[in-house]
């Protein structure tokens, strides 16, 4: 399929994909949380960085990071065209992620960042354990 797109068209199309709000990935995590009886989350909470799922009572924020946009160590890669553009863009994304995580943690939130690929059948159990683990601890105090 990719071969039918021109290089420019491909880059343009990739630019349109938003880094957050990947519906399929979010639905997958919702299904997994249901399966693992993880409840109490809300979506669309206006918190810094727009976490995908927020457990307000436990002060836990969950982000689902797309492997491409957020530079997953296994699948992150820089496209072969417009290299300078993509290198800068992906570096900015990674930096923003770090700042958001740090800032939320400083105000007492527990932040769980889940890779898109961490939702695969093989890795889902471990990912769900991370979320459950964050929820089982006492809410953090701001420091
Ligand atoms: Zn990945």
pLDDT in tens, 51-100: 999 999 999 999 999 999 999 999 999 999 999 999 999 999 999 999 99
108 CA → ligand 1 middle, Å: 28
120 CA → ligand 1 middle, Å: 10
Write down the pLDDT at residue 142: 65
| CA-closest candidate to residue 31, choices 53, 56, 61, 57 | 53
CA distance 62 to 110: 9
139 CA → ligand 1 middle, Å: 29
Write down the pLDDT at residue 78: 93
Exposure string (b/e) for 44-72, b if CB count within 10 Å is 16 or more?
eeeeebebbbbbeebbbbbbbbbbbbbbb
Q: Which residues are placed with Cβ below 5 angstroms of ligand 1, an ion? A: 67, 72, 74-75, 115, 117
CB 137 within 8 A of CB 110: yes
143 CA → ligand 1 middle, Å: 32
70 CA → ligand 1 middle, Å: 9
* Structural tokens at position 53: 């799922």
């Amino acid at each position: 399929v990719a071969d039918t797109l021109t290089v420019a068209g491909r880059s343009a199309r990739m630019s349109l994909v938003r880094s957050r709000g990947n519906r399929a990935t979010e639905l997958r995590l919702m299904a997994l949380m249901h399966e693992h009886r993880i409840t109490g989350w809300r979506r669309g909470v206006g918190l810094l960085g727009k976490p995908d799922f927020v457990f307000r009572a436990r002060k836990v924020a969950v982000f689902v990071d797309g492997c491409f946009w957020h530079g997953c160590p296994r699948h992150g890669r820089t496209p072969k065209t417009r290299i300078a553009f993509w290198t800068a863009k992906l570096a900015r994304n990674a930096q923003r992620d770090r700042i958001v995580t740090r800032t939320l943690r400083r105000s007492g939130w527990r932040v769980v960042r889940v890779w898109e690929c961490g939702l695969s059948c093989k890795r889902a159990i471990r990912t769900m354990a991370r979320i459950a683990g964050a929820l089982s601890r006492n809410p953090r105090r701001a420091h």
